[in-house]
Structure 1
Amino acid sequence: MAAVKIKWMRHRSLIAAVVAAMSLSAGCASPVLDSAEVSGPVVVAARDGADAVLLAHLYAGVLRTTGIEVQVRDGFVDRNAALAALDTDDATVVPDYTGLLLRHYDPGVAATDAEDVFEALARALPDELTIADYASAQNRAVLAAGADLIATRNISRISDLAGHCTDLNFVLTPEFEAAGGLGALSELGCEPRSVERASAAAAFGATSDVDTVAGLTTLAPVLAESSGSGVVTVPDAPDRAPMEEASSDMESPVFVAQNVVPVFRKAVFGELQLDALRVIAGELTTSDLTDMITRVATGEDAAAVADDWLAEHT
């Protein structure tokens, strides 16, 4: 397992080097090569939502391990407001998800694979911004259905759904739509018999109907509790593995990758801080994030929950 992690991290470093080279070729400074010292407090911005606040405290906490002053500033009403704070120097770092960030900066890109989305995002960012390595933790769109529905219709992947959608009802969460799930189904040629909106719990419960599919995201707590319920997630095409070359005959995922990643201002951090950011990239899993968000949503302090995780992983 350790060997796999080392190999993965070497791959991520290679990607970072590629991004750095791209920045240099465009006449821009690269934070990877920059030895600038941090001056003044670093501000990590958090939009509304338990996941955003938790991620802000995770990145703030890991940056504090390098000895710098870091503040979390929450209350940004949405992603646009948080990212706008980077432009006005009211924020230094904004943690978010790769696919949603790519849609913000370059909505015309059709990438869905985790590596492709990350690389496209690196190219799409304004010159004054950059990103660090992404984590395996994600909040990607996902479909869930009763095992009987999957078996009787011989569905092995989401791409198999296209011919069945007109016979199916879809119950979707706001998070599923925000992650681009409904648009991706439309691109697939999936035209549902009906579409309803509901909470994650209600959408998951609706799968008891043999003609109903739920649209959720990977951070929905009900998915983590679904073992033995008779409800299964419909597999998507896998992302290409680390160090695997993309090929024209490789099937891409239907749903856009939504991996956790920090966007930050260039020429702010030195190697100590960049190494600290890589801790989250190498350690944070979707399961970790789901557990922590559940704790925050049930009343625990986000900073304390983040500190508990950091104590185990730094």
Structure 2
Amino acid sequence: MAFKISTAAGAFALMALSAASVFAQSNPLAEPTAARTDTKTIIVGSADFPESQLLATIYAKALVAKGIAVETKLNIGSREVYIPALLDGSIDLLPEYAGATMSYLDKNATAHSPADVAAALKAALPKGVSMLTPSAAQDSDSVAVTRATAEKYKLKTIADLAPVASELVLGGPPEWKTRKEGIIGLKELYGLEFQSFKSLDVGGPLTLSALVNGQVQAANLFSTDPAIAANDLVVLDDVKNLFPAQNIVPVIATPKVSDVVTKTLDAVSAALTTKDLVVMNGRLANHDSFDVVAGDWLTEHKLN
């Protein structure tokens, strides 16, 4: 079966190609916190994958349109890097995924529905950090396999992997080794022990290529990735709710919260849909820049 790897790979290549921005942008976390004397500017950060960078760009542009001074520090890294950056003042605002952040902050969290996850996340946030209104839009972690693998082993759910996991290699980002929403949860909740785990990227071209080329037989991809449909991949149903609701939510340093910031970002969250994420990710895959895609979306929704 022929697979269309290039569709998704282009989106992740943009991490390098989209360095030019309409905003003043420093290397992520390059400047020490002690050097900050400007208390008005909001520094918007992001994780190290395109959708997060796109959402951060949307936040930044929406705030700029309201006259707020903004700086961006995109492509910082994983949650294990950017949450400490938020806590130490290196960044002030970032787009987050409610369930994953909840689990990161509270290892014993069991909430699954959007409302329960939002409540649990709010309770788990450290002092000095606030969350604004979550969006209905979600982008969840998933375990995906090729159509051929699904048919060979009759796989429809993650639980179906139990009899064959020992024969398969699992691929995912390095942090999956230690995350509940990763190897730990797959073992504890589903009883899965894979032949081995291959550290790749965050649902990017390495993961996709490894999956479609057979270097791994199951992999972590994001549910809004247009490569899933383009490559006829099968997302296995999470019947035991390993992955909690992953609504997009702005997380912000409490001192930077104001009426205008809240109203602006709440309007973004209210307009954003899961379908929007899939469409915009598809445009990134076709080499449109973060700035252009974000600007077009904001214009469409009259938010800039």
Q: Please state how far the C-alpha of 1:57 moved relative to its aligned partner.
A: 0.9
Structure 2 counterpart of 1:234, from 236, 259, 262: 236
Following superposition of structure 1 onto structure 2, how do residues 194-273 of structure 1 map, counting pairs within 5 Å? 194-197=196-199, 199-206=206-213, 212-226=217-231, 229=232, 231-237=233-239, 253-266=241-254, 268-273=256-261
**May I ask how many residue pairs the two structures share in their alignment?**
256
**C-alpha contact 2:98 2:245 (8 A) present in aligned 1:** yes
1:280 alignment partner in structure 2: 268
User: Unaligned stretches of 5+ in structure 1?
Assistant: 1-38, 238-251
Query: For each residue in 1:86-137, what CA deviation from the matched residue of structure 2 results, as whole angstroms up to 9, or x when unmatched?
Result: 3344432122222332243223324444433322211111222111122344
For structure 2, the residue ranges without an aligned partner over 5 or more in a row are 1-38, 201-205
Q: After superposition, what is the alpha-carbon deviation per residue over 1:237-263, rounded to whole angstroms, capped at 9, x for unaligned? A: 4xxxxxxxxxxxxxx512233332211
> d(CA) in 2 for partners of 1:267 and 1:194?
45
Identity among equivalent positions (%) equals: 27
Q: Does 1:99 align with 2:99?
A: yes
Q: For 2:192, which of 190, 193, 209 is the aligned residue? A: 190
Q: Deviations over 1:120-159 (max 9, x none)?
A: 2111112221111223444422122355654675554323
Q: In structure 2, the residue corresponding to 1:235 is in which secondary structure? A: coil
Q: C-alpha separation between the residues in 1 aligned to 2:104 and 2:145?
A: 30
Task: Provide the rounded CA distance (Å) in 2 between the counterparts of 1:80 and 1:197.
Answer: 16
Counterpart in the other structure of 2:23: none
- CA distance 1:189–1:115, shift in 2 (3 Å): farther
Cα separation, 2, equivalents of 1:160 and 1:182: 16
- 1:81–1:216 distance in 2 versus 1, CA, 3 Å: closer
1:212/1:70 CA distance change after superposition, 3 Å: closer
Aligned AA (1:276): T
The corresponding residue for 1:66 is 66
Letter in 2 for 1:284: L
Within-5 A mapping of 1:26-105 = 40-74=40-74, 76-105=76-105
| Amino acid across the alignment from 2:169 | F
Q: Counterpart of 2:295 in 1: which secondary structure?
A: helix
Q: Which amino acid aligns with 1:42?
A: I
Deviation at 1:310, TM superposition (A): 0.9
Describe the shift of the 1:165–1:77 C-alpha distance in structure 2 as closer, same or farther (beyond 3 A): closer
CA contact (8 A) 1:141 1:176 kept: no
Q: What residue number does 2:4 align with? A: none
Distance in 1 (CA, whole Å) between partners of 2:286 and 2:230 is 16
The two structures have a TM-score, normalised by structure 1, of 0.67
Match of 2:20 in 1: none
Please state how far the C-alpha of 1:218 moved relative to its aligned partner. 1.9
Q: Report the equivalent of 1:169.
A: 168
Structure showing greater radius of gyration is 1
Superposition RMSD in Å: 3.4
Counterpart of 2:299? Answer: 311
TM-score normalized with structure 2 length? 0.69
Q: Which moved more, 1:176-185 or 1:58-67?
A: 176-185
- Could you say what secondary structure the match of 2:162 adopts? helix
Please tell me the residue identity of whatever aligns with 2:228: L
Shift in alpha-carbon separation, 1:49–1:232, aligned structure 2, 3 A: closer
